[in-house]
Amino acid sequence: MTIKSEALRTLPLFSGLKKDENTLLIENSRMQNCERGTFLFMHGDMITNFYVVCRGTVQIFRETPDGHEVTSDLLIAGDSLNADEIMTKQTTHNKNARAVDDAVLLVIPVKWMQENLSNFDHMAAHLMANLTDRLHSAQIEAEHQSTMSATQIVACYLQRLCMLYGFDPEGFDLPYSKTLIASRLRIELETFSRALKNLRGEGIDVDGVHVSFTDTKKTGQFVCDQCSLCEDCPAHLFLHKKAAQG
Partner DNA sequence: CGACACTTTGAAGACGATCAACGCCGGTGG
Partner DNA sequence: CCACCGGCGTTGATCGTCTTCAAAGTGTCG
Instruction: Summarize as ranges the residues that interact with DNA (CB under 7 A).
Output: 146, 149-151, 177-179, 186-194, 196-197, 208
- The only residue of 26, 124, 164, 243 in contact with a copy of itself, by rule CB under 8 A: 124
b/e sequence 59-70, b meaning 16+ C-beta within 10 Å: bbbeeeeeeeee
Of 121 and 173, nearer to DNA (C-beta) is 173
Query: How far is CA 74 from each of CA 68, 96, 111, 135, 137, rounded to the nearest angstrom?
Result: 17, 12, 25, 15, 13
Assess contact for 52 and 105: CB atoms under 8 A: yes
Residue 132 within binding range of a copy of itself, rule CB under 8 A: yes
- Tell me which of DNA, a copy of itself, none is bound by residue 64, counting a contact when its beta carbon lies within the kind-specific cut-off of 5 to 8 angstroms: a copy of itself
Side chain identity at residue 113, one-letter code: M
- The only residue of 63, 115, 173, 207 in contact with a copy of itself, by rule CB under 8 A: 63
Nearest to 92 by CA among 106, 105, 82: 82
Query: Whole-angstrom Cα distance, residue 119 to residue 185?
Result: 38
- Tell me which of DNA, a copy of itself, none is bound by residue 244, counting a contact when its beta carbon lies within the kind-specific cut-off of 5 to 8 angstroms: none
Query: Whole-angstrom Cα distance, residue 24 to residue 21?
Result: 5
Side chain identity at residue 211, one-letter code: V
Of 6 and 63, nearer to a copy of itself (C-beta) is 63
Of 85 and 202, nearer to a copy of itself (C-beta) is 85
Of 95 and 184, nearer to DNA (C-beta) is 184
Chain centroid offset of residue 13 CA: 15
Q: List residues binding a copy of itself (CB under 8 A).
A: 62-66, 70, 72, 84, 86-88, 94, 117-118, 121, 124-125, 127-129, 131-132, 134-136, 138-139, 141-143, 145-147, 186, 225-229, 231-232
